[in-house]
Structure 1
């Protein structure tokens, strides 16, 4: 694994380093592997052997950490409800982690947005018994060829029919499951145009999807409606929604709380404002990257999807 700053995948990341197993090849659609050499391809390979850990949170909610986007799991008499589905090649370890919680069947899946590291397990979870719910733009992007730029540079083919959400909503939706109420709310375009939050109201746990990355620079998908200003706007909405007692599940990174949301917002605002000032001065991207506007955060925050240079390029694009 490349440890240089320019590497798209680094040692501390959303999946553990490892080769692509034969089993994982069988699980993943061949068209996904036709494009080689980039961040997405590396993610497919490494998710195949990524360790998945279970963290118990509050009431009957747990979270699976380690292979793509964080998965919330609500258990109870209605069967398991999942929020997000990780990367397709992570299926064996995700399945084992779910079985380690209890033997309840999987009945419901909610996608926080359309990206492959949050919807990759849709098809096999649907085959296992889950109905799939998402914001309408998630189904739109999954239903057709969707090109993502930035440092992904990847065209995702249409998802199989079984991976598509069967129920969609526009702005708000309420679920009642396992003696719990889940409030789903669509953000204004932020990380993408399909992002939603999921609030487990009785447990006071908020799953933010990729509108919050805990101590990692976020990927911003301009290709499907994202922007740096939208990412900051969503961060502000998350801060306004929670209290000091709320448990916050990020799309990536450790489970956190309100202080972590505030830090995320502050880092994004600081770097955006510095990059915008440089751009107004007429400085080209190469000079802005060289100036290291996030220098005091880079060592900690630049190790997941976005190294510091890539993140500065994303911000530069949007200011």
Structure 2
């Protein structure tokens, strides 16, 4: 039996009215030791056949559960670590054995340290550990440099290309897709279950974040999506890094959109226009409904920088 959980992620206040005696006000010993209730920011979507998707703030999480234990894909921000563990605990009492980071961004790796305290091994592509442990130039940082994260967050098992995990009777392929969202991205294919987790190589219904500073490239993201398209069929459940559960049709539409974005920006570049001139021309004005974390100007900039490389 295998359960896959895909995760995306208010403290209750009890206000007593009226006077209380000191004896009434003092909690019983059991109460004083009780843990605070875990907030519920994360919802669970049952994908069937013991697979689940967890949605909420940050990247979508995938968890597979079975007799061998629990396998988790991504773990959101640090502040959701305990809630992620609690949500998994609602599904199974099996221990978390593996956590796979699809890339190094904090909304997908932030709870690594907490996951390690459960005994889990955190896995990722080689470049993820490099990105998390060494400074590098980043236009998104106020200082112009991305600084290393705490070592407790770094993956402890890394791989260079493709690795296959035989877990709970299933074949789990962890496949590096180079120079796509970043230079360390992996997609995860549960072969028999016909489920793929794409990490941030798939933003459903919104402009994607192409992290050029981290080795990402729009053409590489298109190639990653085309690779997944070649692996799946009409019944495949596709988990994007951000957005609701998708399938083959949504992925085909995404590929067409990304190619349109690329070709429009390329035409302006071929005409000799600068980045500022292309932004001013508003080549993506008809796609304004895709504005999200990344807006039109940011998408044009990422495409321009990708095509320069």
Which stretch has the larger CA shift, 162-171 or 205-214?
162-171
Which whole-Å deviations, capped at 9, do the CAs of 1:148-194 have from their partners, x for residues lacking one? 32588774432333322221111110111122210111112111111
**For residue 302 of structure 1, what is the aligned residue in structure 2?**
291
Residue of structure 2 in register with 1:53 after alignment:
43
- Please name the residue that 1:292 is paired with: 282
Listed as ranges, the gaps of 5+ residues in structure 1 are 1-13, 22-47
Q: How far 1:246 sits from its partner (Å)?
A: 0.7
Aligned residue for 1:94, secondary structure, equals helix
Report what 1:6 is aligned to: none
Q: Against the structure 1 CA distance between its residues 64 and 97, is the aligned structure 2 distance closer, same or farther, given a 3 Å change threshold?
A: same
Q: CA separation of 1:239/1:76 partners in 2, compared to 1, >3 Å: closer, same or farther?
A: same
Change (3 A) 1:289 1:189: same
Deviations 1:166-223 (A, max 9, x none): 2111111011112221011111211111111111111110011111111111111111
CA contact (8 A) 1:289 1:309 kept: yes
Tell me the CA shift for residue 15 of structure 1: 8.3
Indicate how the Cα distance of structure 1 residues 155 and 53 shifts in structure 2: closer, same or farther if over 3 A, else same.
farther
Evaluate the alpha carbon distance shift between residue 151 and residue 239 of structure 1 in structure 2; reply closer, same or farther with a 3 A threshold.
farther
Aligned residues: 275
1:317 maps to: 305
**Residue in 2 that maps onto 1:149:** 139
Query: In structure 2, what is the equivalent of residue 30 of structure 1?
Result: none
C-alpha distance in 1 between matches for 2:106 and 2:145? 11
Matched residue of 1:138: which SS? Answer: helix
Q: In structure 2, do the counterparts of structure 1 residues 291 and 151 end up closer, same or farther at CA, with 3 Å as the change threshold?
A: farther
Where in structure 2 are the equivalents of 1:19-34 lying within 5 Å?
none
Taking the TM superposition and a 5 Å limit, the aligned residue runs for 1:1-319 are 51-150=41-140, 155-299=145-289, 301-303=290-292, 305-319=293-307
Residue in structure 2 matched with residue 43 of structure 1 by the alignment: none
* TM-score normalised by L of structure 1: 0.80
CA distance in structure 2 between the aligned counterparts of 1:130 and 1:190, rounded to whole angstroms: 27
Distance 2:66 2:168 in 1: 5
Runs of 4+ in 1 over 6 A off after TM superposition: 151-154
Q: Do 1:151 and 1:310's aligned partners in 2 also have CA atoms closer than 8 Å?
A: no
Q: Which has the higher contact order (CA 8 A, sep 6+)?
A: 1
**C-alpha separation between the residues in 1 aligned to 2:125 and 2:136?**
17
